[in-house]
Structure 1
Amino acid sequence: MEFGIEHISAENLKKNPTYNLTQSYYNLIITQETRNNVIINNRNVDLDPYSVLFYTSLTQIKIKENFSFQYVFFSDLFYCISEKDSSLIKQVLTMGYPSEGYVKIVIPKDYIDFSQFMVGELTQAKDKIPNPMVKDLIHLMLTQTFIYIFLELSKNQITPTAINSHERKLLWKFQELINEHVQQQKNVSFYAETLSISPRRLAAITKKSLSKTPKEVITDGLIKKAKQKLFYTDSSIKEIAWELGFNDENNFSSLFHKKTGLTPTELRNSLVI
């Protein structure tokens, strides 16, 4: 769906506990005054009062407890009008949990009223999307939201040294190359050479920005690609393992279990949300 916003109440969830919370490629949950808990990719994730959870359709999410929240969803085509829009989204997701496909922040007290105002404006605008001016307004409000999420995530970065704009572009390109080539290429040297930098330089960038080695980032990309195939294809586990460059299905399943806590079969069997 292009764009939508809904108020999900605890009563709604009691009546429909399998409510679809991935109605488009990008999704936002905005909580209210109570602490809550959700299950993301079969792991418990706490949401503080007045939190924002941003995630993609590749993220498996379930509501553990019935609670009220605002749910916003929109497509890639709706929001990513320019390269700047795509870059902002990538930047935000890179700073969260990229292998899991989500980020979360707590809204500070002095921003709560404004966030509620934004929700109200989006709610009023959703039925007027055919109007180009309204669509532009929605785009602007979403951009403001992502910029704010980015700024909040920047405050909470674990690593003390921020990467500069050139290093961030290299990081984005590294992740794009992984998405494009990880089925055939899993060696750090291939990606470093393609980026025209040394493996040591690449390692310095991923350590500063993600607290991970390049090999760990590549593995994250491989797991993401595996999830895509499990979610959106009918290929067997053996076929997926082969497509991802594994000669042995057991080796693929072992790595997948190590990184996600589930076997590929268990994940596929739990996809009904």
Structure 2
Amino acid sequence: MNAEFLITRPDSTERLFSIGESNQALFSILTRLPYFTVVYLQEGSVELKADLSIYHVSAPAVLFFSPFQPFLIKKSEENIPMKVLHFHPDFFCILKHQKEVSCNGVLFNNLFAPPFVEITPEQSTVLESVFKQMQDESSHEELAQNDLLLSYLKIFLIHTTRYKAQNQAQVEDQIAQNSNPDHSILQKYKTMIEEFFVKEHSPSIYADKLNVSLKTLGKLTKKYFDRTPSDLIQERLMMEAKRELYLTDKSVKEIAYLLGFEDEFYFSRLFKKIPIPLLSTTGRQ
């Protein structure tokens, strides 16, 4: 990456925060990073591969990736400039500061929307200004530099959270106006997962509550979310498990019980989907 400013832990080279720009083939191979990543695309277009889906993204746009989320960005042409932010949960934890910023479940850990938002030129101007403030602050060391960078990061995330929330609302309104019956089923399924994911882990139970066959529900989630009904439930469980890891000192056994798993060993196998580095940094067993 070109012109990168980096903050590391005092006792190691581990990245806590960085900001930079790149024209290189950054992220052109499948990437899994141990921190949050924000890519600000100002020109051109890219093909984004994230999790199991492929998206075509046109600038101006902002892309968001959670720790260890696999992604690949393929540029349509060489030398497309990208601005990149990285921040570790120990620098800014989106879970602890959810009430302040509200980006968890919108920008990051959003089961039902792609990990990016295409924005207007006016919105891009706002983000460019905040990004420049971060770059200016990082160009020379001053009193409370980290605190000011953290404040600018929060402002950047608040703006992008607003933009993506507005975008999602417009999409949902458009689907609803078209009287698409799929919309009603999927909205109910999303609400039911949030309400019952701790108690109900079987997708067939949700299908029964929705009065549709499991096959029909599977076709809808595959069409709109590129995931199976079971994938969505398990991903919601893993999001909650990560939250418990970051915010509490509960053991894996305690978290299993909290999330409705009577069979600790089955949960442990499911729990292995959480990357080992995350488990090792929390010291949890």
Describe the shift of the 1:122–1:110 C-alpha distance in structure 2 as closer, same or farther (beyond 3 A): same
Unaligned runs of 5+ in 2: 1-14, 178-186, 212-216, 239-264, 274-285
Distance 2:146 2:85 in 1: 19
Which residue pairs with 1:46 in the alignment?
A: 56
Shift of 1:69: 0.7
Confirm or deny that 1:7 pairs with 2:17: no
TM-score (norm 2): 0.53
Counterpart amino acid of 1:71? V
Deviation at 1:48, TM superposition (A): 0.4
- Map Cα deviations across residues 182-240 of structure 1 (whole Å, 9 max, x no partner): 7xx32565x89xxxxx9359xxxx9xxx8979x955432326779xxxxxxxxxxxxxx
Greater Cα offset, 129-138 or 51-60:
129-138
1:186 and 2:215 aligned: no
Distance 2:49 2:228 in 1: 23
Q: What is the alpha-carbon distance in structure 1 between the residues aligned to residue 224 and residue 30 of structure 2? A: 35
TM-score, scaled relative to structure 1: 0.55
Residue 255 of structure 1: aligned partner: none
State the structure with bigger RCO (CA 8 A, min sep 6), 1 or 2: 1
Q: What is residue 61 of structure 1 aligned with on the other side?
A: 71
Q: Residue 72 in 1 paired to residue 90 in 2?
A: no
Residue 129 (structure 2) pairs with residue 113 (structure 1): no
Decide whether aligned partners of structure 1 residues 176 and 54 sit closer, same or farther in structure 2, where only a CA change above 3 A counts: farther
- Identity among equivalent pairs (%): 11
**Distance (Å, rounded) in 2 between the aligned partners of 1:173 and 1:87:** 21
1:22 aligns with 2:33: yes
Query: What corresponds to 1:146 in structure 2?
Result: 161
Instruction: Find the aligned partners of 1:176 and 1:72 in 2 and give their Cα distance.
Output: 33
Q: Secondary structure, in 3 states, of the residue corresponding to 1:144?
A: helix
Quickly say closer, same or farther: Cα 1:112–1:86, change in 2 above 3 A: closer
What is the aligned partner in structure 2 of residue 137 from structure 1? 152
Equivalent residue letter for 1:61: F
Give the corresponding residue for 2:182: none
How many residues in Structure 1 have an aligned counterpart in Structure 2? 208
CA-CA distance at 1:59 after TM superposition: 2.7
Q: Retained in 2: the 8 A contact 1:27–1:71? A: yes
Aligned-partner residue type, residue 148 of structure 1: Y
- Residue pairs, 1:257-268, within 5 angstroms: none
Amino acid at match of 1:63: I
Q: Distance in 2 between matches of 1:176 and 1:88?
A: 20
* Cα separation, 1, equivalents of 2:42 and 2:151: 27
Q: What residue is the counterpart of 2:209 in the other structure? A: 199
Q: Deviation of residue 18 (structure 1)?
A: 4.6
Unaligned runs of 5+ in 1: 162-167, 193-197, 227-241, 247-251, 253-263, 265-273
CA 1:110/1:175 → structure 2, altered by over 3 Å: closer, same or farther?
Answer: same
User: Contact conserved, 1:32 with 1:69, CA < 8 A, in 2?
Assistant: yes
Does residue 243 in structure 1 map to residue 254 in structure 2? no
Q: Secondary structure at the match of 1:155?
A: helix
Contact 1:90 1:172 in 2 (8 A): no
Kindly state the Cα deviation for residue 3 of structure 1 after the two structures are TM-superposed: 2.6
Supply the distance in 2 between the matched residues of 1:176 and 1:90 (Cα, whole angstroms): 15
Partners of 1:134 and 1:93 in 2: how far apart? 20
SS across alignment from 2:116: strand
- Per-residue deviation at 1:32? 2.0
| Cα separation, 2, equivalents of 1:42 and 1:142 | 25
C-alpha distance after superposition, 1:85-106 (max 9, x if no partner): 4754214457x6x16x842221
What is the RMSD computed on CA atoms of the aligned residues?
4.9
- Which is richer in helix? 1
Quote how far apart the aligned CAs of 1:22 are.
Answer: 2.9
- Structure 2 vs 1, CA of residues 76 and 218 (structure 1 numbering), >3 Å: closer, same or farther? farther
